[in-house]
Structure 1
Amino acid sequence: MPAEQPTILATSGGYRQGVRTRLEFDRLLHYAVELSGASGRPPRVTHVGTAAGDQRGFNAEMDEAAWLAGFDFSHLNLFTMPNHADPEAHLLEQDVVWVNGGSVVNLLAVWRAHGLDGILHRVWQHGVVLAGVSAGSICWYQGGTTDSFGPELRAVTNGLAFLPYANGVHYDSEERRRPLVHRLVADGILGETHCTDDGVGLVYHGTELVEAVAEVRGKGAYIVTAEAGGADGTTASERRQEPRFLG
């Protein structure tokens, strides 16, 4: 059964250090499954690792974590060619599409080359939950901040725009993220921007933000908007959203 409505969970989290494996799935990734409504069978989750070049070693670590979680798990690889003859049919069979981090700029270029932008929009409308971390969060928005071009953070403004906002990830753990978001919003390069500390996710039904959730206590989500009245006429205003802890 698909989710009752188009749903996106955009996060700066989803993993934790494993005990017998390098990583395990944390509460945010499990919450993506909960949002899908899957029950009575192992949830079907596909991992899309385009942003990091479909690294087979990381795929294997995800497989171990998925086995521990009890997921019916698969990968959609695009390097060196798609590993499914019909990617759309494969994705429509899933409960959750989980997109990993890396280069959001490269991710967007490769997805568009393969027509995955349109496919993912149809999959989202069908009720498959779209979720992910870092680049796998920014991609669903109009844009955000990225280190895809090099160590100095820059704006990316050609996201898929399923959500009519921009996105700021790793808001508390990378000190340059917050000031750059504020400057880009004040300058009008980014519009209203929804940001997450590490361990926090934002839930959207359709294009409406309905909830902030966290797998780590004490973390926050933030909405940054432009506001008249600064020294140059416009400044950025930040409003904190208290997440619900996924205990």
Structure 2
Amino acid sequence: MTTVDPKIIELAEKLGKRPRAVVNHIIKYGSVSTTQLKEIYGYDHPPRAARDVREVGIPLVTKIVKNAETGKKNAEYTLGSLEELRTDILQGRKNFPAKFKKKLFTQHKHKCAICNAEYSPRVLQVDHRIPYEVAGDKLDTFALDVNAYMPLCPSDNRNKSYSCEKCKNWLDIRDSEICKTCYWASPEGFEHVSMKKEKRTELVFRENEINVYTAIEEKAQFVGESVEEYIINLLKKSE
């Protein structure tokens, strides 16, 4: 078992099932990887489990390593410095007040901030625009400034977590200003996607628009292109 400050061990017992499993594994073995979180504990989205730990105030250090058996890269988590322990949020993730959620969802017209598709309040999830792991004490998590949060559908919340986990700003730099100009924090106006120079948009076809998507898909298949490639090439031709 790894030598760990008693405070961390004590706190681990007070956590929810998922963050407790992450911390206890690290305490016992020194670290835990995304592969282990998925294969041993059955977490389909391992970065979310690690994020649960950070959101209750326990610092984690992320390192990208290569799996000796598969050769694929995955994240490996170890406990951070006790000096970074957030004693102000050790009671765990707080539920957002109903009035705050209603205000946020209404402001975004009940749409996911990323894909712009409309969802019911039960489906939409509240997420920080700038991750706590980057902003740290610069962002008052519980001030509940509606502009500091964004509603996301479950799929895009997972996509954002996955992308942020691999971003150099998350791993090394931790500059809030870089996050502010990122697609995942400001999809309505951004300069980069996880520090990569690219532009992105999301299209969701629903109900009576499904026929439009089907027609595009058929035409794309006819010319041997993906739907994305077909739309881009169609726009280029119209310039």
Assess same fold via TM > 0.5. Answer: no
Larger fraction in strand:
1
Larger fraction in helix:
2
Q: Highest relative contact order (Cα 8 Å, sep 6+), 1 or 2?
A: 1
